[in-house]
Amino acid sequence: MSMIREFQFLLDSVSNIVFLTGAGISTNSGLPDFRGDDGFWKTNKPIFFKDFVTSSSKRRDSWKRNLALHHKLSEIKPNDGHHFVKRVLDQKEGIVITQNIDALHEKSGILKEKIIEIHGNATKANCIECGEIANIKLFHAAVENNEVFPSCLKCGGLVKVATISFGQSLNMKDFDKAKELVQNTELMIVLGSSLQVQPVASLINFLGASADLVIVNKDPTPFDTLASVVLHEDICNVVNQLQVS
Ligand SMILES: [Zn+2]
């Protein structure tokens, strides 16, 4: 059986699917892989969480970068890869766990309860002390007008873009939920992740013995030998050959 037919067979035969998506699903929307050769982190030093907390100039740098990213993100749209995930999750039980901070799964219209953004979301802001959501537009305006950043309205704490910074711990509630969903799923479909960033990659180890794994990624991953289907191809090209019923 060809890999596509095997993928189609698995898709048709299960009722519960966990998707794991990474930067590769968003490149077709025009968002470069931050970790790639031309990626953002090759030219911009990461701002570590502790520096954000202790330095007001790093905070301003961080918000400046978020404003630039905001302009980029407001221009881009979900592509066939995101629409495929939505169509499948409209039909079946399951969830999408994403490493992406670009909010494109949310923009594709999937129910919010079916998305776990394990590295957070660059289109939102929250308080690092109490988690209260803040209006991100106020911070963009403060960058543009060179004004002081507002504090959390609830506790007075520092507000940061709602992504997980370098040196910042993941939201363990989200991670534990992701782990449990992986343990109980029949099929896991990886789209556009090289499965090299921990602890997200370790989620694969929680798959049950009878569960199947499908990996679609342009480059090989450390988990390819465990997968029933491996396609080192363009995601849109693959999903456009599949029927979602
Ligand atoms: Zn707060």
Work out the burial of residue 234: count CB atoms within 10 Å of its CB; fewer than 13 is exposed, 13-18 middle, 19 or more buried: middle
Contacts of 127 (CB under 8 A, 6+ apart): 134, 152, 154, 155, 157, 158, 159
241 lies in the same domain as 222:
yes
pLDDT confidence tier of residue 37, bands split at 50, 70 and 90: low
20 lies in the same domain as 65:
no
Question: Nearest CA to 98 among 193, 180, 186?
Answer: 193
pLDDT in tens, 98-140: 999 999 999 999 999 999 999 999 999 999 999 999 999 999 9
What number of other Cβ atoms are within 10 A of residue 86's Cβ?
20
Cα dihedral 82, 85, 86, 91, rounded to 10, equals 160
pLDDT confidence tier of residue 46, bands split at 50, 70 and 90: confident
Q: Is the pLDDT of residue 40 over 70?
A: no
Tell me how far the alpha carbon of residue 174 lies from the centroid of ligand 1, in angstroms: 20
Q: Are strands 93-98 and 115-117 parallel, antiparallel or unpaired?
A: parallel
Task: For residue 140, indicate whether it is catalytic.
Answer: no
Residue type (1 letter), 229? V
pLDDT in the model for residue 99: 95
Q: Determine the structural domain holding residue 39 and report its residue range.
A: 32-75+121-163
14 lies in the same domain as 26:
yes
pLDDT in tens, 221-235: 999 999 999 999 999
pLDDT in the model for residue 212: 98
For residue 194, how far is the Cα from the chain centroid? 13
Residue type (1 letter), 40? F
CATH of the domain at 135: 3.30.1600.10
pLDDT in the model for residue 185: 98
- Which of 108, 133, 163 is the endpoint of a domain? 163
Average predicted confidence (pLDDT) for the chain: 93
Of 70, 119, 140, 232, catalytic: 119
Question: Which residues, in sequence order, are bridge partners of residue 187?
Answer: 17, 212
What does the longest C-alpha to C-alpha distance in the chain come to?
A: 62
pLDDT in tens, 159-185: 999 999 999 988 899 999 999 999 999
pLDDT in the model for residue 38: 54
Task: Give the whole-number percent of the chain exceeding pLDDT 90.
Answer: 88
Domain count across the chain: 2
List residues, by chain if needed, whose CB lies under 5 Å from ion ligand 1: 127, 129-130, 132, 152, 154-155, 157
Contact between residue 211 and residue 18 where contact means Cβ atoms under 8 Å apart: no
Tell me how far the alpha carbon of residue 206 lies from the centroid of ligand 1, in angstroms: 34
CATH of the domain at 22: 3.40.50.1220
The H or E element containing residue 189 is strand 187-191
Contact between residue 122 and residue 70 where contact means Cβ atoms under 8 Å apart: yes
Tell me how far the alpha carbon of residue 245 lies from the centroid of ligand 1, in angstroms: 45
- Which of 163, 188, 223 is the endpoint of a domain? 163
198 lies in the same domain as 233:
yes
Contact between residue 136 and residue 161 where contact means Cβ atoms under 8 Å apart: yes
pLDDT in the model for residue 34: 64
pTM score, two decimals? 0.93
148 lies in the same domain as 226:
no
pLDDT in tens, 184-227: 999 999 999 999 988 899 999 999 999 999 999 999 999 999 99
Q: Is the pLDDT of residue 35 over 80?
A: no
